[in-house]
Structure 1
């Protein structure tokens, strides 16, 4: 037994230093000017890998790497060796590709540093010492990095260029105010999701601000004693999600999975889940002209979100439920046959009269016809009109207009 232990100890001692001390290797960003399209927390390497795979399938020379100053993974689609070329290409990338929020990230990879091993006395003073072992690959130096956000109206300036700027004095911020950055990604593919977030006080429902994914801004703390704010997203095509964050102590056992502090910035990371069979969402930002089934132009934005969901998964089938404010019949305007003026009042529309149920049906039908005109198969969309049978508010209340709505129910998702 003693002999076995002795042999094992000798085997360990004879191992090279870098083999004994080896640490898990992190794929670091390369040095250069990187056209960056996505960022993930240090726990999100899998998301970065899946997004890179998808981008490569689309023909982009995408890759990813870890940035030590920010403790995050960045996905980039191009790497340049000089600053000016990168800045010149940023506008082209934003205008000619889907990456309208791309930015140039300047990174200098960490350099390995030599490690001096402890001196050992030789058994024989006349015996020359063997050369020291090679430095371990994972021993690296400090990093310097600069974020450059190029803009179409203002030329970016290299980090080493001295620029004289006027001194701007900002008013003091309230105690516990936080600089917040929000990222959102598809839980399955890791692809960034354009989502909107509402930040409000859950005790009195006072809205603090709204933010879009990818944005960074200062947010004042809520007025409640605990300084707890609720951050919620309800983007069409995605399940609703909300979390409570304390501005005093945002990183806790229950929040550390999706929060991190990057310097002074509180980074929140949301995993977005697509709607599943049985889920229902309301298209609250789809509006109709009075006494008509014709949509207002601002309705296009939310319909684009619904289109994205339907195009991502061809197996989705949905039911559109139309609702009105009240049950009274009357005259109204609707689309005529082969009418494609979905967002504009026009003499080509058809004037008719009918029940509130008929009006609600025609409104849902207008949404259906628009989706079909954008390439969705007709058999994937069903329509039902409810009139004023399921009003959310009294028809004479200040909130009565929210009774006029179209809801989306997922009938099948696979």
Structure 2
């Protein structure tokens, strides 16, 4: 049955009130540091299940593959239009919804959901997306080895017992371009189900890898300047599971991973660049990812735009580098301090990343900056909204 205009208006009002509550209470969301393999693009949250059902129907009428599920931590039913393991795709979908649709407050939830409205597998969800007519949300191709959605924190499947199991020697060979130019970097290995992080390994050299409990490993490479690459390995017979895999001179299994460079208009989220509180001063842990960005900018054709984002729109003290020579430490004698807005803080954070790149020899004219403050605080986990993003202007 179609809604009448009054009922739609009432549900929308409830929805927007709940969005405001979500934004105000964002610090009470999932525990900091907890990692889940799936990202939900959420367009509404409701305390009453029937309201979630009605809103899901409304979203379906707009040709979006909506579902609802229960967030036990928030005691809310979430209506979402996409679930994916790819954080970048979730971010792009959320931006598109905010800019092009009525869902101006869409956000990303990375955590467990439960309830009858949850699709039991991403394969099912993606099949429904692919068949949705007029769908503005880009559907992902279903993977043959897609795991079921995890609704509880994953256990450490490669814990202390892993070292006692049979190991194999691998070489994860990263290349790019038609000439298969070697690419320096590292890969992460994840146990197949439920995609628990196993270990980070250097690429292009021999490494010993313990057998996973499930018999399968997912190899993930997420280097700055390249699109995310994944390979699923059957540990018992890797040569058959990976096209082009071979055996090296010392019986190591060589896994080829050809990386695809990012294109103009692509966005990269610098997940490991962090700042000291109330400041535009980088923490020491940021340096490794910044050096990756320096390597990417080694291509003289490359032009980028840096965007700063914050979790809050509150004004307050802003500490900047000032005359200090250190990018990665507080230096009270030489740092500067002033009162400013969240937009100014985010702009200063983008500027200090630019300053670091310039200190490494990158021409300043190749780097633009902009601060958004909390305007695009799209993650329910508040801390995740303090971030730096890179837009590729030319590559």
Shorter-chain TM-score bucket reads 0.5 to 0.7
Please show how residues 295-310 of structure 1 align to structure 2 within 5 Å: 295-310=282-297
Aligned to 2:351: 365
Aligned to 1:379: 365
**Structure 2: 5+ residue runs without aligned partners?**
1-161
Count of aligned residue pairs for this structure pair: 232
Aligned to 1:193: 183
Using the TM superposition, give the Cα deviation of residue 213 of structure 1 relative to its aligned residue in structure 2, in angstroms.
0.8
Separation in 2 of the partners of 1:307 and 1:188? Answer: 23
Change in Cα spacing, 1:189 to 1:299, as seen in structure 2 (3 Å) is farther
Are residue 404 (structure 1) and residue 386 (structure 2) matched?
Answer: yes
> Based on CA coordinates, which of the two structures has the bigger radius of gyration?
1
Are residue 289 (structure 1) and residue 268 (structure 2) matched?
Answer: no
Using the TM superposition, give the Cα deviation of residue 264 of structure 1 relative to its aligned residue in structure 2, in angstroms.
4.3
Q: Which runs of 4+ in 1 moved over 6 A?
A: none
Aligned to 2:306: 320
Please show how residues 1-400 of structure 1 align to structure 2 within 5 Å: 173-174=164-165, 177-224=167-214, 227-252=215-240, 255-257=242-244, 259-262=245-248, 264-311=251-298, 313-336=299-322, 340-346=325-331, 347-394=333-380, 397=381, 400=382
Using the TM superposition, give the Cα deviation of residue 390 of structure 1 relative to its aligned residue in structure 2, in angstroms.
2.6
Separation in 1 of the partners of 2:254 and 2:341? Answer: 51
SS in 2 for 1:365: helix
| 1:164-205 Cα distance to aligned partner (Å, 9 max, x none) | xxxxxxx99535x43222222333454432211110024212
| 1:108-129 Cα distance to aligned partner (Å, 9 max, x none) | xxxxxxxxxxxxxxxxxxxxxx
Aligned to 1:154: none
Do 1:239 and 1:275's aligned partners in 2 also have CA atoms closer than 8 Å? Answer: yes
Change in Cα spacing, 1:363 to 1:240, as seen in structure 2 (3 Å) is same
Change in Cα spacing, 1:333 to 1:273, as seen in structure 2 (3 Å) is same
TM-score by length of 2: 0.54
Do 2:195 and 2:218's aligned partners in 1 also have CA atoms closer than 8 Å? Answer: no
| 1:55-93 Cα distance to aligned partner (Å, 9 max, x none) | xxxxxxxxxxxxxxxxxxxxxxxxxxxxxxxxxxxxxxx
Using the TM superposition, give the Cα deviation of residue 340 of structure 1 relative to its aligned residue in structure 2, in angstroms.
4.4
Separation in 2 of the partners of 1:275 and 1:366? Answer: 23
SS in 1 for 2:165: coil
**Structure 1: 5+ residue runs without aligned partners?**
1-170
Q: Comparing both structures, which one devotes a greater share of its residues to helix?
A: 2
Separation in 2 of the partners of 1:200 and 1:212? Answer: 15
SS in 1 for 2:337: strand
